Structure 1
């Protein structure tokens, strides 16, 4: 049995049987009725039952679904940096992570539109506990990362994931998407966890320096930004618990509820930026920094800089900064109408009598501005 069988996407030979298992599922019906509004169920079911590869499934069903999501819940998707990618080269996309499903779906839609191969993408097993969602994830070329397992199992699981990433990029020439940290960023601070980099590096050959291996797999940072976070209010209980140094326990269906809100909730503008291929910078780190701990820290900071500087600062981010600091420093970055719209959402979703709640919500939106300011300040010094 393949070492990757419990985490891998479906093989193309398995796709049709998997589709047959879910073809009558009410969630699939809801997705396809949302996507193909002018057709009866027989139309998409017939098409889907003749689908025999992941690529066909993504292009014919997921791609139009994402286009419909963009149309219904945003003012449009814009991109930058895709011209830096080579068509026949596989990359390791290390990305900030804001939405459970859309981050990777929007990236793949953009790759497809630019004539590039779509990725295989990491997803936590906590998000695919329902059998239908697990099947759908495997049909969209996701591989599964196990969460909350004992340390010994975690080590073996990390080795398997690392080996899978290596095989995808170096043997199958398939790009991989992985978040820069475990779980979504909820407070607006996009920070790369060194543990993710160490896990990826586990697949280096015996005796091979991790940085030399990372050069081979073509690390590229990716920044995705939403003008409005459709799950901003849903994040408040966890942010407040963190601010009060309290333990936070997720509700039974919280992830699923957040997933649905992320897809259908209003986002207004969306932007994806492809950063620079980091091969040369990684080479510089290996030559100028000694010690694996310091090297990993330097690499994490390098990825952070690329993601933070590549993050599009929408008017909402500047509005939140000015409200948080009771200033008009960035008044030229937004209109009166944009500010009023943000304030209506803010006052409707957040208890204005709770200073900690007010601060947490505004900080969530303002942190990308403050992080860019901090990096630009360091660069100018």
Structure 2
């Protein structure tokens, strides 16, 4: 038994058996029918039986599923920053988080296209409660983040995950994706939680924490969608927060969000890889002697990269102009694009509720607000 068995993704020697077990599940059949419309069930079932590794499964099946999803639910995926990284090096991608499945899947499609090391990705165990989803996640190189634990268990779980991430990057030369915060950004404010960095630092075997972070080769990732297919579904939680109320998810909410994120219309999608955080770590070490202050400073460096490199779409500028009743960014979109966005607002939210309207607009406008704040301070 490995100490990581509780959270790790499947190993290659386990893949074939797992795929045989889940191949008859109705959702696998639906996914394969969607991905390979010209193949019979027998054809893809036989091909699935031949899969002997995660890489083979991703290359022969998952990659094609994501391409099909892009074809049906977007106007294309664009990217920047990939050419700066070394193809044979593993990195720790710290990413803003907008969609449960698509964020990591799209990053891995681009990593594959650029001939780079694909990621093992962190996923909350609350999202894979169904045994079928858990198997599919782990066979696609996802590892588990334990949610809702009491403080003592949370500490142990965080330490284990930190050690596993270190093991993947340093011992196995496997890149890792982790969200900058727990849960998806609901309001368009992409901010790194210090707790994520503290967790990553738990496995440090070096005197200076910043030297350890250098070894992890942190790359900030900015992902942006022209339309968020789950925008309206995020409203109840945002409204509860605005009213200072506790928000309780309904039983199938995570699954509904997961499904809508995959099939819902996204239009344009862009992923940017920032520079590897390196010399900044030397500066942090030189200027701050307390670990908490160093973590705080590193959080700012990651946030600066993610916000600066976030690709703004016409929808972001339209929402800003609507929210602040201005035409400041009128040259960034057409009248048709504005009409489409206004129509979306009408169809998806209750326009008689000003909190709902403002929250919906803020979700799209805040990336513009945050970029403006950065440029004002520089």
Q: Is the 8 A contact 1:215 1:283 kept in 2?
A: no
Show the counterpart of 2:187.
187
Query: Any conservation in 2 of the 1:201–1:214 contact (CA below 8 Å)?
Result: yes
Rounded Cα–Cα distance in structure 2 between residues aligned with 1:88 and 1:280: 21
State the alpha-carbon separation in 2 of the partners of residues 303 and 117 from structure 1.
Answer: 21
Q: For 2:233, what is the secondary structure of its paired residue? A: coil
Match in the other structure for 1:307: 306
- Aligned equivalent of 2:367: 368
The corresponding residue for 1:216 is 215
Q: Which residue of 2 aligns with 1:283?
A: 282
| Aligned pairs (5 A) from 1:116-127 | 116-127=116-127
Residue 66 (structure 1) aligns with? 66
CA distance in structure 2 between the partners assigned to 1:340 and 1:59 by the alignment: 40
- For 2:111, the equivalent position in structure 1 comes to 111
Misfit runs of 4+, over 2 Å: none
Measured in 1, the distance between the counterparts of 2:335 and 2:281 equals 44
Shift of the alpha carbon at 1:292?
1.4
Task: Tell me the equivalent position of 2:45.
Answer: 45
SS at match of 2:184: coil
Partners of 2:324 and 2:199 in 1: CA distance: 39
Q: Which whole-Å CA distance do the structure 1 matches of 2:84 and 2:134 have between them?
A: 33
Correspondence 1:329 to 2:328: yes
Q: Aligned partners of 2:105, 2:74: CA distance in 1, in Å?
A: 15
Q: How does 1:2-17 map to 2 (within 5 A)?
A: 2-17=2-17
Measure the CA separation in 2 of the matches of 1:282 and 1:190: 21
Unaligned runs of 5+ in 2: none
Alignment of 1:105-184 (within 5 A): 105-184=105-184
Separation in 1, partners of 2:120, 2:282 = 26
Deviations 1:348-378 (A, max 9, x none): 1111111111110000100000000001111
TM-fit CA distance, 1:208: 1.9
Between the aligned partners of 1:149 and 1:316, the Cα distance in structure 2 is 38
Please tell me the root mean square deviation across aligned C-alpha atoms, in Å. 0.7
Alpha-carbon distance in 2 for matches of 1:351, 1:309: 32
Deviation string 1:118-158 (CA, Å, 9 cap, x unpaired) is 10000000000000100000011000000001111101100
User: How many Å separate the matches in 1 of 2:301 and 2:374?
Assistant: 11
Residues in 1 aligned to 2:341 and 2:267: alpha-carbon distance in whole angstroms: 12
1:24 aligns with 2:19: no
> What do residues 283-334 of structure 1 show as CA deviations (whole Å, max 9, x unaligned)?
1111122311111111001100000111100000000000000110000000
Q: Deviations over 1:210-257 (max 9, x none)?
A: 111001110010000000000000001111111111110001000000
Residue 98 of structure 1: aligned partner: 98
Quote the Cα distance in structure 2 between the aligned partners of 1:193 and 1:210: 17
Aligned to 1:86: 86
SS at match of 1:77: strand
SS at match of 1:122: strand
* Kept in 2: contact 1:192–1:303 (CA 8 A): yes
Match of 1:202 in 2: 202
Structure 2: distance between partners of 1:7 and 1:78: 32
Match of 2:341 in 1: 342
CA distance in 1, matches of 2:46, 2:117: 26
Give, in whole Å, the separation in 1 of the partners of 2:108 and 2:347.
Answer: 34
Aligned-partner Cα distance in 2 for 1:375–1:290: 26
- How many angstroms apart in 2 are the aligned matches of 1:282 and 1:33? 48
SS at match of 2:269: strand
Q: Post-superposition shift, 1:280?
A: 1.1
In structure 2, what is the equivalent of residue 76 of structure 1?
A: 76
Q: What secondary structure, in the 3-state scheme, does the structure 2 residue paired with 1:238 have?
A: helix
